[in-house]
Amino acid sequence: MVAQRHFYLEERFKHQVTIPRDVLRLMRQEIKRKHMCRLDESTNISPWFSASRIDLGAGETALILASDQMCLNGVDNNWFWVFLRRHRRHRLVLTGGTLSVDVLRSANFGLRNLETNVATANTNYTNIYKFNGSVYKARVCSETALFPDNQKPKRVPCRSQ
């Protein structure tokens, strides 16, 4: 099966895959550390997520997760998590809040760059994440005013999440 290259986080992924146990273990730690969900050791978090393969290139195996759980998402964006599999273990290499994630053709350290997009009523926010050999970091960030029409993107400093 071919891995997806465009992900709209408001919908379940087209080609869902089973979430490996080590990823669920990492997600449980992530939820406890960063999110407002009520969680105990017996909570089955697997149904909270949609997972798909994501094509990062270089023959790497990677997964992207998204959730429709309100305690994991913001008002105007959904959280996502990208895991890279190396040496038979998954490792979290990117997390953030957005509405869409696209895999670009350009690459850094052998892995394709990722672009996120989210919009408010008057501004579109675009971030391009590049792999630094360990994790993905936002490197090119821009804002585009939607009104008046035909505004050009304006480069802005990237904010860490």
Residue 159's identity, in one-letter code, is R
- What is the pLDDT at residue 60? 81
- What is the pLDDT at residue 33? 83
Give the rounded percent of residues in the chain with a pLDDT score beyond 90.
Answer: 60
CB-CB neighbours of 83 under 10 Å:
24
Residues in the chain: 161
- What is the pLDDT at residue 56? 93
Tens digit of pLDDT for each residue in 136-147?
Answer: 999 999 999 988
Q: Are the beta carbons of 142 and 156 closer than 8 angstroms?
A: yes
Cα–Cα separations (whole angstroms), residue 104 to 21, 37, 38, 128, 152: 28, 32, 36, 9, 20
Domain boundaries along the sequence of the chain: 6-156
DSSP 72: G
SS3 152: coil
Low-confidence ranges of the chain (pLDDT < 70): 1-3, 76, 161
- Calculate the dihedral angle through the C-alpha atoms of 140, 145, 146, 151, rounding to the nearest 10 degrees: -90
- What is the pLDDT at residue 2? 63
Q: Can you give the pTM of this predicted structure?
A: 0.92
- What is the pLDDT at residue 146? 84
